Amino acid sequence: MTDKRITIRAARFDPEKDKVPHMQSYDIPFSDESMVVLDALNYIKAHVDGSLSYRWSCRMGICGSCGMMVNGTPKLTCAAFLRDYWPRPVTVAPLTNFPVVRDLVVDMEDFMHKLKSVKPWIIRKQEMPLGAGEHRQTMDEIDDFRQFSQCINCMLCYAACPVYGLDNEFLGPAAIALARRYNLDSRDQGTKIRLPVLAQSDGVWECSFVGECSVVCPKGVDPAKAIQQTKLDTTLRFVLPYGNRE
Amino acid sequence: MDFESYDVLVVGGGLAGIRAAIAVVEANPRLKIGMVSKVYPMRSHTVSAEGGAAAVLRPEDSYETHAFDTIKGSDYLADQDVVEAFVREAPIELIQMEHWGCPWSRDPDGKISARPFGGMTTWRTCFAADKTGFHMLHTVFQTSLKYPQIHRHDEAFVTKLLVENGRCEGVVAVDMRSGRFEAITAKSVILATGGLGRVYAFTTNGNICTGDGMALAYRAGVGLKDMEMVQFHPTGLPFTGILITEAVRGEGGYLTNKDGERFLKRYVPNKMELGPRDIISRAMVTEFEEGRGFEGPHGKFMHLDVRHLGEAVIDRKLPFMRELGREFVGIDIVKDPIPVRPVQHYMMGGVDADISGVTPVPGLYAAGECANVGLNGGNRLGSNSLSECLVFGAAAGRAAAEYASSAKPVGSNPVEAMLKDETARIEAGYLDKKGGEERIGTIREDMQRDMDAGAGVFRTRESLEKLTKQLGALRERFTNIKIEDSSRTFNTELTAALELDFMLEVADTITYSALAREESRGAHARRDFPERDDAKFLKHTIAFRTEEIAPRLEYRDVRITNFKPQARSY
């Protein structure tokens, strides 16, 4: 068991030296059945090649940093077990559909702007004073938006989205899911303010309902559902009075 | 030369840092705020907090009991005026989080729910299922996006505080993407950089928890307070160190040894699984040493058993634990006990700061885990730290705003010179360094292994003295490091090297502070001095940097108000 080994093929790209990315192979010990792809990258960085660049932090599937393409599928590398690939080599590449900054690091500034554009915060006509205590909210009301609040911004859904791949103006799965999260929150009164962004030409109507976003989400979020529901909202706004909380 | 210049600069984008930034806006909306973080803010380690945030929100609870629980939990090393202020502010902050959209779990009447937690005498831990930190961080981060006053510098690594004539005037940071060195100036600077768990091998902390803010302040001449007080959480998953929340025990989970016995009856008979973390971790290590632990491929462990709670409760209150069990251990916690063992989790010690986050350097503030404002003493109670980030993040924000509102602007001449010096230091020492033989990864692993062995749950003079020698040798080896990556673009070998440099320094402060505290108090358990010694050590340790590796230690009396130190038993 101690001399079991595995081959990791990692994408390398340094814009200061390279015109295009290339793959580099590392043959490393697969010393523990609990090892994940991220452990393999960490082994390489610590013991073989200190120049390999990638993001990671919590290694428990909640910080959202370590998303990469693992054998062609967007994955959190902290939750992708080597035992599921061995003895085949594991190919690790940066998330598709994003510009590559370096090696396995992608540029996600685009998402940061999109996130802000959907106003992902509670909007109220009138703020309740702190002294009045909390808004009452039932667990059923939380269930209305719970799944959409689980998004860890890991970008796997953008990597899986064929529409975003063709046109990165598309608002995309996570941003729409988070808009939906606030639109469905019983404390929020901002649906009307968010709908123009969601309904514009690069908003929900771009989605061709392939549903890959929901398939790859590591947190059980269903952005495809958020998008379909929002399509309905943007239609109904022309026939019904806005929203249900105004 | 032009620099980005702010009224207030926040270093760190976790719960304390973002709360501080918003507090600055609330205090004075005309101030311009910078926030520099080495990761995108939602990656900050707040995200991994699970169990909840403590505050007195239920009518049957009282400020006095929350204060007493916290002070007793601290083994009387907390400053009592700070605790008393904290318990009054915490409920307001949690309500504020609710107004910002935090999806708190609710009681049937729609009010914020609470659960029992270790060392708390009543239910006061508010929670958002078992992802409380995740929800709080995303809520406060997303809320921060609505303030145009807050300007973020994401993925910029701070290497040095700019201190001129005794006043903090900003930072030098490397923009990771471009590799450019930048001076970012500000009238006041708030450190909110989180913990240092990565100085240990077995830790719940993420890769980014490398004590940066503590080291930055230490190098700027600020003392680090109570660094010997390192919290070991009783329930980490073997191998990964992934945290299994205390809420598992709060909801009624049992800790059992290999004989199937709830062994805590011998250690904390009145509290059992709801005893404080320091005592339970020691109980587990003691049981291991006496042969009553399970043996596994990744060392000894105990069972944390929630099978009797049933699937419905587990899915409602502990869904993330079920997910972690399934994903990372291959078990279903509805049917299988969870293997757990003590794991480094939290740093009570930190940058010496007062109740408003004020440090001894004018213009410099600190909040959250990187700070020690006197709240946690020798042992933090679970669920006090999320509330601490809010209460003291906001306090630091207000204090920094007030200072910035009246402080003189920062002059650019000395800043330019300081930026040049700092750039030259890092280029010569790292980026353009020729030769060298030591791998950063190897030195880091050796440090982590040595810290686990020498400054863990139990310490002795012998273990700590050995550790000082090991750390000294590692510092020597660090001068001979090899940097393979000369690229300026997202050079994570550079940041790893700078983090290791920080960690080696804070590791020394832990070790020397622990060596000098010849008593056992809170998380600091000396086998050679098993008793608490109030006559000698009812005092904070303050470690100051010197030209030598060993810090100069000073002591400061603990502030006692209403709670006389007494024997701590549960």
Helix, strand and coil in chain B, % to nearest 5: 40, 20, 40
CB contact under 8 A, B207 and A57: yes
Name the CATH topology of A109-236.
Fumarate Reductase Iron-sulfur Protein; Chain B, domain 2 (1.10.1060)
How many contacts (CB atoms, under 8 Å) link A and B?
173
Q: Which helix (H) or strand (E) holds A197?
A: helix A191-199
- Tell me: pLDDT of A242 over 70: no
CB distance from A79 to chain B under 8 Å? yes
- pLDDT tens digit sequence for B199-212: 999 999 999 999 99
How much is the ipTM here?
Answer: 0.97
Confidence of residue B1 (pLDDT cuts 50, 70, 90): low
Q: Do A242 and A192 meet the contact criterion of CB atoms below 8 Å apart?
A: yes
CB distance from A115 to chain B under 8 Å? yes
CB contact under 8 A, A15 and B489: yes
Mean pLDDT of the region B213-223:
98
CB distance from A188 to chain B under 8 Å? yes
Sheet holding B114-115, edge to edge: B53-54, B125-126, B114-115
Q: What is the sign, positive or negative, of the torsion defined by CA atoms of A208, B138, B50, B56?
A: negative
Q: Closest-CA residue in chain A for B155?
A: A55
B463 three-class SS = helix
- In the prediction, which pLDDT does A238 show? 58
- Scanning A201-240 for CB atoms below 8 A from B yields none
- pLDDT tens digit sequence for B52-63: 999 999 999 999
CB contact under 8 A, A62 and B242: no
Q: Closest-CA residue in chain A for B97?
A: A134
Q: Closest-CA residue in chain A for B239?
A: A34
- pLDDT tens digit sequence for B71-122: 999 999 999 999 999 999 999 999 999 999 999 999 999 999 999 999 999 9
Residues of B in contact with A146 (CB under 8 A): 103
Mean pLDDT of chain B: 97
Confidence of residue A163 (pLDDT cuts 50, 70, 90): very high
**Residue B40: CB partners within 8 Å, gap ≥ 6?**
A108, A112, A153, B13, B154, B155
Q: Do B64 and B57 meet the contact criterion of CB atoms below 8 Å apart?
A: no
- In the prediction, which pLDDT does A235 show? 83
- pLDDT tens digit sequence for A64-108: 999 999 999 999 999 999 999 999 999 999 999 999 999 999 999
Q: For chain A, what percent of residues have pLDDT higher than 70?
A: 95
Q: Which of A1, A60, A144, A152 to mutate to test the interface with B (most CBs of B within 10 A)?
A: A60
CB contact under 8 A, A45 and B145: no
- Euclidean distance between CA atoms A56 and A67, whole angstroms: 8
B233 is catalytic: yes
Q: Which two tokens stand for residue B224?
A: 């680090």
CB contact under 8 A, A60 and B109: no
Mean pLDDT of the region B380-407:
97
How far apart are the two ends of chain A, measured CA to CA in Å?
Answer: 64
DSSP secondary structure, B307-338, as one string = GGGHHHHHHHH-HHHHHHIIIII---TTTSPE
- Residue of B41, B49, B53 lying closest to B104 (CA atoms): B53
Number of Cβ within a 10 Å radius of residue B54: 30
Mean pLDDT of the region B351-360:
98
- Euclidean distance between CA atoms B282 and B304, whole angstroms: 16
Nearest beta carbon to residue B101 from set A55, A122, A153: A122
**A48-57, A206-215, B509-518, B551-560: which has the minimum mean pLDDT?**
A206-215
Q: Closest-CA residue in chain B for A127?
A: B99
Where does CATH 1.20.58.100 sit in chain B? 414-535
Residues of A in contact with B108 (CB under 8 A): 138
**Residue bearing tokens 């250690």:** B267
CB contact under 8 A, A121 and B490: no
Architecture of domain B233-342 in this structure: Alpha-Beta Complex (3.90)
Q: Which one is catalytic: B233, B282, B380, B459? A: B233
- Tell me: pLDDT of A218 over 80: yes
CB distance from A125 to chain B under 8 Å? no
B137 three-class SS = helix
**Residue bearing tokens 């959409």:** A148
CB contact under 8 A, B440 and A62: no
CB distance from A134 to chain B under 8 Å? yes
Within its chain, how far is the Cα of B346 from the centroid? 5
Residues of A in contact with B438 (CB under 8 A): none
Q: Where are the alpha helices (DSSP H) in B105-253?
A: 132-144, 212-219, 247-250
**Burial of B87 from C-beta contacts in 10 A (0-12 / 13-18 / 19+):** buried
Name the CATH topology of B414-535.
Methane Monooxygenase Hydroxylase; Chain G, domain 1 (1.20.58)
Where does CATH 3.50.50.60 sit in chain B? 4-230+346-410
| DSSP tag of A170 | S
Mean pLDDT of the region B25-31:
98
Stated pTM of the model: 0.97
Q: Do B315 and B199 meet the contact criterion of CB atoms below 8 Å apart?
A: no
Q: Do B404 and B187 meet the contact criterion of CB atoms below 8 Å apart?
A: yes
Residues of B in contact with A101 (CB under 8 A): 177, 489-490
Architecture of domain B4-230+346-410 in this structure: 3-Layer(bba) Sandwich (3.50)
Residue B352, strand partner residues: B372
Where does CATH 3.90.700.10 sit in chain B? 233-342
CB distance from A140 to chain B under 8 Å? no
- Euclidean distance between CA atoms B379 and B258, whole angstroms: 28
**Residue B489: CB partners within 8 Å, gap ≥ 6?**
A14, A15, A16, A101, A102, B177, B178, B179
Name the CATH topology of A5-106.
Ubiquitin-like (UB roll) (3.10.20)
Confidence of residue A3 (pLDDT cuts 50, 70, 90): confident
Q: Do B377 and B353 meet the contact criterion of CB atoms below 8 Å apart?
A: no
CB contact under 8 A, B441 and A50: yes
Confidence of residue A246 (pLDDT cuts 50, 70, 90): very low
Q: Closest-CA residue in chain B for A182?
A: B101
Number of Cβ within a 10 Å radius of residue A35: 20
Nearest beta carbon to residue B142 from set A50, A120, A139: A120
CB distance from A58 to chain B under 8 Å? yes
Q: Closest-CA residue in chain B for A178?
A: B142
Domain ranges of chain A: 5-106, 109-236
CB contact under 8 A, A152 and B42: yes
Q: Which one is catalytic: B249, B517, B521, B540? A: B249
Mean pLDDT of chain A: 94
Q: Which two tokens stand for residue B101?
A: 């959209």
